[in-house]
Structure 1
Amino acid sequence: MHLTNSKGWLFYIPDQDKFVSSAWATFPESSSLKKALISPEASTASKGAIKFLLNKLTLGDFSAEHTVKAQQLASNHITNKVLLPPKSYTEAMKQPDSLAWQRAINQEIENMKNHAVFEVLPLPVNTKPIGGGWVFVKKPASSTCDARYKVRGNSQLKGYDFHETFAPTATFTSLRLLLTVAVHLK
């Protein structure tokens, strides 16, 4: 029987005619054992005695365990704040290495301009721009800051934001054709 006021179980040992409490237990799954353990002759007096014992029985003080958990949570919070990269531009600019994050952002914008990733156009009437956001990564080997701008394409609507999609992927058939041509041309 599970104890309500502490972490553990209450067991009755018939050979010794006593109750034992334990935080660790292994429960056998055999159905014949379950039938042997649960007897229909259990009197209400013995059930009352068990309930009385349950209310009186405790396994000890677990307050130290709560203190350890609180310390672990605080430690994780501090560790995550120090080691994890920022989740937003605002958070990046509040960090001690904000200049490194700003350099990474400027480098990403410059790369996008150099590769003609986007084109600035006037926004058509009755349309909303697709959202985007910065993704920040700190490379562990070199401890350099890396920033990438990502557009939230999952918010696009087919026929409204785009009309067709194209993703060049190789199929097994096209690979066979390519290898056949390569063998033929040697």
Structure 2
Amino acid sequence: MLQTIFDRLCGQEALAFESEFSIDESVRRLSSSRVEPDLLGLAPLAAMKLVAVVGRVTEDHVSLRCERLFIFNGLRSVFVGRFQTFDGRVILIGQFVGVDGHAGPIVGAGLAMGLLMIVGPLLELLGGSHDPMLWLMPLLGWLPPLFTIGIVRLGRWLSSSDEKRIIGAIKHALLKPQRTGVA
């Protein structure tokens, strides 16, 4: 239940893509549709594109993100998933995680700071302190969690076009091309 609440706060939702190929072929096709990441951030240059889908693909773990040439976005979304087989069907199951995959610790730190800002002054007030600022501190305790959740949601909004690009790359790799011909 806590994971569901966290996913709602951060805007994460589960995604599933059914492949029309075998699991080995699906991994091979998805691997060929992305670029290998590098340390200098020049993967788009190696792919001769301004924006490239970068990541690692194996049967047990898929991690895809978009990189732009000479631009670093620390708030970007990352698709994290894995291939699974159900009733002979190959399905890629995963979700987009915000803030480059580190949304959990960031939101957790914001919640912890907010809790400290609420509990600390309340304990001091129970001890008999008459400082008027202590009465305001518990009200301000909601600001760090709201700020961190806002940052995560802002990152999701800023990288919404990246999510569409990654979903397009996944669909292109896992679905057979539709033949449309003019007679």
TM-score range, shorter chain: under 0.3
**Larger Rg over CA atoms:** 1
Give me the TM-score of the superposition, normalised by structure 1. Answer: 0.22
Q: Which one has a larger percent strand, Structure 1 or Structure 2?
A: 2
